[in-house]
Amino acid sequence: MIVPRLGAETRLSVEYRDDTPFGAPMTPQLETNLRSVYRTVLQAVERHGPVDVVRHAPELLQEVRAQEGYLRLLDGRTLRHQVLYPDTDLVRPSALTFAKERAYSELRLEFHPGLLPVLHDVVAALSGDGGGLLECMPPDIKGVYDTVLRELEQRDMLVRVPEREKVDRSVRRQGDATFVGHNTVVVRSDTTQVVIDPWFLPTAGHYPVDYQPMSRREIGPVDAVLITHSHPDHFDLGSLLQFGSHVKVFVPYVERESLLSIDMALRLRQLGFHDVRQMHWWQSERIGDIEITALPFYGEQPTTSEQLCPEVTNVGNVYLCRTARFSCAVLADSGRDRRGDVREVAREAHRRWGPIDVLFAGYRGWSLYPVQYLSSSVRRYLLFVPPDQYDVRQTIMNSTAEAVDTAENWHARYLVPYADGGAPWYWEAGLGPALDTDGRELQESVYFDPFPERCLEELRVRSAPSPDTTVGSPVAPLLLRPGQSVHLRNGMAGVIESARHRWPWDAIFPTRPGQPDPRKASAPIL
CATH number for the domain that contains residue 216: 3.60.15.10
Strands 91-100 and 11-18, bridge-based pairing: antiparallel
**Residue 108, CA distances (Å) to 129, 159, 270 in order:** 22, 19, 18
Answer yes or no: do 123 and 258 share one domain: no
342, exposed or middle or buried, with CB in 10 Å at 0-12, 13-18, 19+? buried
Co-location of 279 and 157 in the same domain: no
* 229 and 325 both lie in a single domain: yes
Q: Are 131 and 182 members of one domain? A: no
User: How far apart (Å, rounded) are the C-alpha atoms in residues 104 and 203?
Assistant: 15
**Local confidence pLDDT in tens for the 526 residues of the chain:** 778 899 999 999 999 999 999 999 999 999 999 999 999 999 999 999 999 999 999 999 999 999 999 999 999 889 999 999 999 999 999 999 999 977 788 999 998 878 888 899 899 989 987 655 556 677 777 888 888 999 999 999 999 887 665 443 333 357 999 999 999 999 999 999 999 999 999 999 999 999 999 999 999 899 999 999 999 999 999 999 999 999 999 999 999 999 999 999 999 999 999 999 999 999 999 999 999 999 999 999 999 999 999 999 999 999 999 999 999 999 999 999 999 999 999 999 999 999 999 999 999 999 999 999 999 999 999 999 999 999 999 999 999 999 999 999 999 999 999 999 999 999 988 899 887 755 455 667 777 889 999 999 999 999 887 777 789 999 999 999 999 999 998 889 999 988 889 998 875 555 554 455 555 556 767 6
Residue 373 forms part of a structural domain: no
**Neighbour tally for 377: CB within 10 Å:** 13
Q: Residue ranges of the alpha helices (H) in 359-460?
A: 400-410, 424-427, 453-460
Q: In terms of domains, do 117 and 181 share one?
A: no
Do the domain assignments include residue 393? Answer: no
Range of the domain at 118: 2-18+88-165
Q: Does one domain contain both 287 and 414?
A: yes
Strand partners, 18: 91
Do both 148 and 213 map to the same domain?
A: no
Residue 491 Cα distances to 272, 291, 358, angstroms: 41, 20, 10
CA dist 477 to 188, 267, 340, 460, 494, Å? 21, 38, 26, 8, 12
What are the CB-based long-range contacts (under 8 Å, 24+) for 429-434? 431/182, 431/233, 432/182
CATH of the domain at 153: 3.90.930
My answer on whether 322 and 408 are in the same domain is yes
Do 359 and 468 fall within a single domain?
yes
The residue out of 98, 130, 165 marking a domain boundary is 165
Cα 112 off chain centre by:
29
Last residue of a domain, one of 133, 165, 197: 165
CA dist., res. 344 & res. 348, Å (int):
6
Per-residue pLDDT tens over the stretch 2-58: 788 999 999 999 999 999 999 999 999 999 999 999 999 999 999 999 999 999 999
| Domain total in the chain | 2
- Which residue type does 509 have? F
Whether residue 39 is contained in a domain is answered as no
| Residue 311 to residue 314: CA distance in whole angstroms | 10
* Three-state secondary structure readout of 203-259: CCCCCCCCECCCCHHHHCCCCEEECCECCCCCCCHHHHCCCCCCCEEEEECCCCCCC
Q: Is the pTM of this model over 0.85?
A: yes
Q: Is residue 114 part of a domain?
A: yes
Q: Are 401 and 420 in contact (CB under 8 A)?
A: no
Cα 361 to Cα 417: distance, rounded to the nearest angstrom = 5
C-alpha torsion sign, points 382, 383, 384, 385: positive
Q: Which amino acid is at 408?
A: E
Residue that terminates a domain, selected from 165, 199, 223: 165
Q: Is the residue at 225 inside a domain? A: yes
Q: Which residues of 284-294 are buried (b: 16+ CB within 10 A; e: fewer)?
A: eeebeebbbbb
How far, CA to CA in Å, does 442 sit from each of 118, 217, 351?
Answer: 46, 33, 41
Give a yes or no: residue 428 inside a domain: yes
Residues 186 and 283 in one domain: yes
Angle, vertex CA 366, rays to CA 55 and CA 310, nearest 5: 85
- Tell me whether residue 25 is in a domain: no
Q: Which residues of 386-419 are buried (b: 16+ CB within 10 A; e: fewer)?
A: eeebbeeebbbbbbbebbbbbbbbbebbbbbbbb
- Domain shared by 101 and 11, yes or no: yes
53 in any annotated domain: no
Please check whether residues 326 and 456 belong to one and the same domain: yes
